[in-house]
Amino acid sequence: MAAKPKYLTIANQLEQDILIHKYQKQLPHLDQLALIYQTSKVTIVKALSFLQYKGIIKTVRGHGTIILTATEIELAKKDNANEHVGFTERIKNSEFLTSNIISFDLREPTEKEAAFLKIGKSEQVYDIIRQRLLNDFPVRLEYTIMPVKVIPGITKAVLEKSIYGYIENTLQLKVGRANRTFRADKSDAYDQLYLKCAKTDPVFEVEQVCFLSSGLPFEYSQTRNRYDQGELTLNQV
């Protein structure tokens, strides 16, 4: 018995069929698909709504289910919004991402940080600055603030590995939602030093607040990306 729900199995099968051009511009009718997959209409609808979400098809009420053009499907796959989730820790395929800890302190939060993390002014936070290198070339500078109360026991050893791994495996906490803001900014002296960028080079900044699945904020961070090493692509309706 497949662990996957039937509608996902059907969605994946349909996706394959679309990719090999088994269907041309349109899929068969819902009833026909229900017959083909020996299932009910509602299940087919669910499968199709998943494919629509993925940017592969488009349903038009009263008309039919249209397969998007190859160009649209191709671009939809460039969407990397989810790769920025846990951006701090994500390692891309076979690339060599390393950390260089620039500083690691304990202190009280600023007013802004306390507000973002919903903590009192006297509750201590870790103040972590890390340089991230991709194949030995600096790509990001990360300023991370975390409340000690929420994420206890961070050490240099943890920072050198993965904070997220520590949170999920050692502390057995689950990471939930995140809120990220992307913007351009001027580079400052630290950027120039640690990103090896010119004085006139901008940086691509990602400011984020991350929550545990319990709803507790556990990280406020600012990531300064070399402007030639970070961009975000979205596919939208």
Is 61 an interacting residue with respect to DNA (CB under 7 A)?
Answer: yes
Is 188 an interacting residue with respect to DNA (CB under 7 A)?
Answer: no
Are 65 and 57 in contact by the 8 Å Cβ rule? The answer is yes
Number of residues that bind DNA (CB under 7 A): 26
CB of 31 to a copy of itself, least distance (A): 19
Is 43 an interacting residue with respect to DNA (CB under 7 A)?
Answer: yes
b (16+ CB within 10 A) / e for 63-76: eebebbeeeebeee
d(CA 79, CA 67): 19
Is 6 an interacting residue with respect to DNA (CB under 7 A)?
Answer: yes
Is 60 an interacting residue with respect to DNA (CB under 7 A)?
Answer: yes
Please choose which of a copy of itself, DNA, none residue 180 contacts, taking the beta carbon within 5 to 8 angstroms, the exact cut-off set by kind: a copy of itself
CB of 183 to a copy of itself, least distance (A): 4
Please choose which of DNA, a copy of itself, none residue 6 contacts, taking the beta carbon within 5 to 8 angstroms, the exact cut-off set by kind: DNA
Q: For residue 235, what are its two tokens? A: 């596919």
What is the three-class DSSP state of 151?
Answer: coil
Is 30 an interacting residue with respect to DNA (CB under 7 A)?
Answer: yes
d(CA 21, CA 15): 10
Single residue of 17, 25, 40, 120 touching DNA by CB under 7 A: 40
Is 46 an interacting residue with respect to DNA (CB under 7 A)?
Answer: yes
Are 130 and 223 in contact by the 8 Å Cβ rule? The answer is no
Window contacting DNA (CB under 7 A); options: 59-67, 86-94, 96-104, 105-113: 59-67
Closer residue to a copy of itself, CB minimum distance, 15 or 79: 79
**Computed from CA positions of residues 96, 206, 154, 170, in that sequence, does the dihedral angle turn out positive or negative?**
negative
Angle between helices 41-53 and 6-19 (to 10 degrees): 60
Q: What is the largest CA-CA distance in the chain?
A: 65
Closer residue to DNA, CB minimum distance, 33 or 159: 33
CB of 132 to DNA, least distance (A): 32
Is 87 an interacting residue with respect to DNA (CB under 7 A)?
Answer: no
Q: What's the first-to-final CA gap in the chain, in angstroms?
A: 36
Single residue of 16, 17, 25, 29 touching DNA by CB under 7 A: 29
Is 218 an interacting residue with respect to DNA (CB under 7 A)?
Answer: no
Between the CA of residue 195 and those of 94, 229, 235, what are the distances in Å?
22, 10, 29
Q: For residue 157, what are its two tokens? A: 């050893």
Residues near DNA (CB under 7 A) are: 1, 3, 5-7, 27, 29-31, 38-43, 45-46, 48-49, 59-65
